Structure 1
């Protein structure tokens, strides 16, 4: 057995022992939304446009127990969804999860990411969350997925960041040392890790970090095992992340949390340093930000296959002709206080609310402005907040 096969077998054994994620099974669609899994919202974020079609094919690559898969089905009512995973135990849970909640436009395959070419056809949206960093060869994995992405398609990826996971790495190594010959016995690893956390001093750096960020979810053994006794993990920094992205030969569209990657967030008191940073490349600027704010536990971002059409709505004439509709990932509407696509609170004025209520996907912006006392600049603000999605008129 090759080293790669050995690692893959070990990873499958972990998730057969502790199927992940351990979210409860429901007899109804899951609550809320993750906009990154909604084709309309994600396409709008990446291109500034409503997609031309919604009857798309979606691949959930490394679907685990189907938590994301279930959302992908329910959030995209015209899509057909395929889920693949290395763990037969996790797949069994995924099938039951989707069956119980009525997510019936999905098929599952017991398949490695490396073997994704065995699936027929291409996919408009590929979701790969928390998987590539557990592969023995992530570059081979992302290249295999890239070959299945349709022209104009989007890939949503989540991988770990090394700077924000430093204490996790230390605990992983400590548990492995204490396990010795028992490494690979994941139940023993969880017991060792639990005992370490309960025995270390309260002010210990690793203990403090666990309490600050992870303890609420890690009371479940499945989560604890995934974090601390995983047999394979590669954590990234900006430099190694973009080496992975470049290997895919896809276009980097952007991080799904762009606010974090604004240098002004950190250096507002030093405009001269911000000016200096303008001489840096985008990647150098990203690296500077994570060095100054090393809380990056993960990177979440979109890649795309050309041709990618992007629209700049700054031209007034173009915007006036566009046909707006509400972003589907909004909660609390119609109300002046809503949650936007990122679950941030937005307080709307009377006129903004009136404008949004008329964004029905039929009337152009100019026609709505004739009946609502709102400026075009205010419309641009709503657009920037991603409360509306536009179709060119």
Structure 2
């Protein structure tokens, strides 16, 4: 990454969540390595391969990943030592351990060498001078069957931010407080004021700096993003931005249609794979509960439970009957131990990552 990007995050560690901001473990279910591996490979991760890399981890992501994966070796890699210090402190304050914090550039093959079963690069590639070199550096660290999640900026989602950012660069505005003074002086119907009133991102100093003052930003149309993916040698497995359809081909067609109207589903979130085996059929499966949900489903916890969807679609609220059904899978349940209706029900929960579906 350019030195300017490192300096930016030393000044503005991102994101700026309060240190005492906590996350329910059940909300981290889509970060669980066993759940993701079984979703895309139809089996549990091989022994000795329980390793996760968070590339460009920022100041927060190590906490929910460690919460989701106790006992898993997690490496948190970032250019910014200040971001790593805050991430380490957040983990310490919330009593989570098992994270190795590493400062440096993800393109350096000597740092955080693989293989990793899971790599997360959320909001990273679009800040690289050479995104393909960065993506290939991550691909080289990925194990066979490994999964890489990326998020990149979408051109039409970022259109207003990009326009304002370019204007601020031309004006040589580099300080968040100076931007806020400009907003205060702007007309009530100005685009700048309208953006500030509609965006939660700019409420914090680091959020404003990340959105409007970042020195290196690229946004993508869907086909530009797919060219990058194809050149890396990785295979698209599943889009996970809001509203995403389960099949990559259908989602690509949907997004292309939106882009013809200069619209977007949001920034692109995509799971990529290297030599994955593919999911297991319901009829051949042994089902297990995602371990991140076990405590939230305890019988002594009253009331309904809502856990947001993480694969593009909304989840239904779990009432008492659904919670009781899911508790059956605290121990492995083979498909032949379920009725046809129960098997279909279990399959739907496996599609949401609430259950793990593995070959028997």
TM-score by length of 1: 0.79
Say if 1:289 and 1:35 are closer, same or farther in 2 by CA, change over 3 A: farther
1:210 aligned residue (187, 196, 211): 196
Residue 163 of structure 1 is matched in structure 2 by: 156
Structure 1 segment 1-393 matched on structure 2, within 5 A: 8-26=2-20, 30-32=23-25, 33-47=27-41, 49-53=43-47, 56-65=50-59, 67-179=60-172, 186=174, 189-212=175-198, 214-215=199-200, 217-257=201-241, 259-261=243-245, 283-292=252-261, 294-313=263-282, 316=283, 318=284, 322-330=285-293, 333=297, 337-340=304-307, 342=309, 344=314, 346-347=316-317, 352-369=322-339, 374-393=341-360
Larger relative contact order (CA 8 Å, sep ≥ 6): 2
Contact 1:355-1:374 at 8 Å conserved across structures = no
Distance apart, 1:36 and its partner CA? 3.7
User: Who is 1:274 aligned against?
Assistant: none
CA contact (8 A) 2:40 2:276 kept: no
- Deviation of 1:174 after TM superposition, in Å, equals 1.6
- CA separation of 1:77 and 1:199: change in aligned 2, threshold 3 A: same
3-state SS, counterpart of residue 337 of structure 1: coil
Structure 1: gaps (5+ residues): 1-6, 264-279
Separation in 1, partners of 2:330, 2:30: 22
Q: Supply the RMSD in Å over aligned alpha carbons.
A: 3.0
Change in Cα spacing, 1:133 to 1:35, as seen in structure 2 (3 Å) is: farther
Compared CA separation, residues 29 and 57, structure 1 to 2 (3 A): farther
Name which one, 1 or 2, has greater alpha-carbon Rg.
1
Structure 1: distance between partners of 2:321 and 2:61: 36
Which runs of 5 or more residues in structure 2 are unaligned? none
TM-score (norm 2): 0.85
